[in-house]
Amino acid sequence: MARQCPQCASVFPDDVFFCGHDGAITIQEQEPGDFDPRLGTQLGDYIVAARVADGAMGRVYEGRHAETRAQVAIKVLHEDVARDNVAVERFKREHETAEELEHPNIVDVIDFGQTPDGSYFMTMEYLQGEELTKALGGKPLPPERAIRVLCQLCEALDNAHSFGFVHRDLKPDNVFLCRSDAGDVVKVLDFGSVKLQMETGPKLTAFGTTLGSPYYMSPEQAMGKLDVDQRTDVFAVAAIAWEIATGQVAFEGANVAQILMKIVNQDPAPPSGFNRAYPAAFDDVITKGLAKDKTARFASAGELASAIVAAFGLEGDHRRWAATSQSDIASALAATSPPAPAPFGMSAAPAVAAASPAAAVGERARETYTDLAPAAAPAPARGNVALVAVVALVVLVAIAAAAFVFLR
């Protein structure tokens, strides 16, 4: 799509940001049937120059500072979302949190304000690259890329956790991969779901409801518990690491209820059974990261990342490898061997971990078919009945809330 100078009306290709005649900021041309009145207007100190993407919460624009011409991204809430007080509070929380967290692996947020039409906008650094979701595309990442990405992600989380912030909504969509000569540079997005330890401000969720993407929720989130801490993010990173290794989500289900049931009651098969590029020692690390009892998980994201590094036989903690180029990580992996997995009976890995890769995949397939035939599935143990009831209650509350909003 072309761009046009608002002063002399000259037309330029889409990659020309300033008019060659008068230096004005060029504005993206629009289709007659898809007119956006914000293009060409000013929000705060920034001119809205082009549309970039649309999401469930809002639209993202390319912006340019009116004087310095610096490029930024401008996120504006959709009109219906801007009428939701909880959504607006989350949006404000995202700005306040990210503004306080200055870290190279956390997106830099610049400004926040209200639009003339009553919505809200936030400006942030303009990122070139893609979300981890797109990078995966249903396929695993090579270990050298996975190590660099996970180490940087965990560095960002350790920084946030040191300030008392817990993300609570980590997922591949919120892990942005910027391009560089050394490899990916991670930028963690969307701190709108953040919980501040010991906070006294307004709560963003009602009692008994959940918050976060269901595929990456910790068991305590899935059960609607209130004692959520940094180990919830550790669980989410472990689930993302499982997906990076296999190209599939760790907890699959036909609906939210089924996903939450698996998170609370089941363990995914060892990732090495799907991808032999990942060693059995990696399985042990992920199993600990996905422990149902949060006290059995790694105490910090950094501990998880360092354990992943060690599982591949690399020396040094995660900080070293977060700063190492992808090509150098690949060379280091080629020159070393991963350690042997923990002895049988000493590992927290499920029993299927002791089986061959083919058997592990077969076991996972059997679990899937069991889910599709509930009549043949064994009845839950008595100790799990309360757990199942809580999850069911959470889902019913969510459905009732959605129905109320729809019918209102």
Q: Which residues are catalytic?
A: 169
**What interhelical angle do 143-162 and 326-334 show, nearest 10?**
120
Cβ atoms of 290 and 250 within 8 Å: the answer is yes
Half-sphere exposure of 343 (CA within 13 A, CB side): 1
List 43's β-bridge partners, or say none. 46
- What is the dihedral sign for C-alpha 271, 305, 300, 132? negative
Main-chain dihedrals φ then ψ at residue 259, nearest 5 degrees: -65, -45
Q: Residue 129 and residue 142: Cα distance in Å, rounded?
A: 18
Q: Among 106, 209, 257, which residue's Cα sits nearest to residue 167? A: 106
**What interhelical angle do 230-246 and 301-311 show, nearest 10?**
30
Cα torsion at 281, 301, 320, 328 (round to 10°)? 50
Q: How many CB atoms sit inside 10 A of residue 21's CB?
A: 10
**What interhelical angle do 143-162 and 301-311 show, nearest 10?**
160
